[in-house]
Amino acid sequence: MRLRTLLAITLLIAPAVPAVPARVRAEAAATRPSYFTRLWELDEASRRVQFAFTPYRTTWILPYTYNGSPNSELFSAADPGRTLRKPEAAFQLSIKAKLGQDIFGGKADLWLGYTQRAFWQLYDIDESAPFRTTDHEPELIVSFRTRFRMLGFDGRFVQIGLSHQSNGMARPLSRNWNRLVANVGLECGSLSLLVTGWVRVLFKPGENENPGITRYLGHGQVQGYYFLNRHRFGIMFRDNLNFRFNRAALQADWCFPLFARVGGIVQCYFGYGESLLDFDHRVSRVGAGIVLADWY
């Protein structure tokens, strides 16, 4: 009865709320700062107090994903008799905080970022639903605000950062590496592109726990977002650019509004490097869940 009463009140109130004209919505969208401008606080209107946590990479929760090719052989070697379930849950949490503002002559900001991506064997009840692997990635990033044009795109920023990524597991499942990373943010209308390149640093080849990781993950990737009526279509492409030993990855996302700042997400991933543990294993995954809608 309470649910019916609530629905009835909602229906009575809804007509009394004036609809926002399409022209007003279009004007507001045209004057709103771009996605990268808001994400990295590139203009005065978007500036925030230092040390406040803000979104970094997309934060999402996929209660159900289906991996058609789990890396069972790797776990069988460490734990004989164990098999991986193809259905599992996955989530990514990503935040950042500004440590310094207007450095290098007022043209740059210093950021601390953290991203955690986890894969959870939620439906393996017999094994008490263990986490299969969790990647941790703290980063220190210097972001330079820029204004240049390239191939019709506006160059919003150039970033230089140091990244450490590790799964925190014991050998033989331990994986970690350090990278010097460079990002370039480009935008044109409703399209945002992030071009990333990296080089591996601070490692000892004789103590390397994941040899050949750059053979599979290469030295860069391109990520793009297209925004349409509060929907966001995303794609990430990575390739090692080795035609004799070609290894690539493709991730596609469709994010759509649900309520407030929460949206729905459908995500597909094909290729190598979805997690550090699977850097040399090809994954074919499809999943659905919810996402923190930081773009509207």
Coarse DSSP helix, strand, coil percentages of the chain, rounded to the nearest 5 percent? 20, 50, 30
- 166 belongs to the catalytic site: yes
Chain-centroid distance of CA 210 in Å reads 23
Closest CA to 111 of 102, 121, 100: 100
Planar angle of CA 77, 118, 258, nearest 5 degrees: 145
Catalytic residue among 72, 166, 174, 284: 166
Is 136 noted as a catalytic residue in this protein?
A: no
The structure tokens 């309470």 sit at 2
Distance CA 138, CA 173 (A): 20
CA dist 156 to 59, 64, 85, 138, 174, Å? 22, 36, 43, 23, 37
The active-site residue, picked from 72, 136, 164, 174, is 164
- Which is it for the CA torsion 168, 60, 156, 98, positive or negative? negative
Residues with active-site annotation:
164, 166
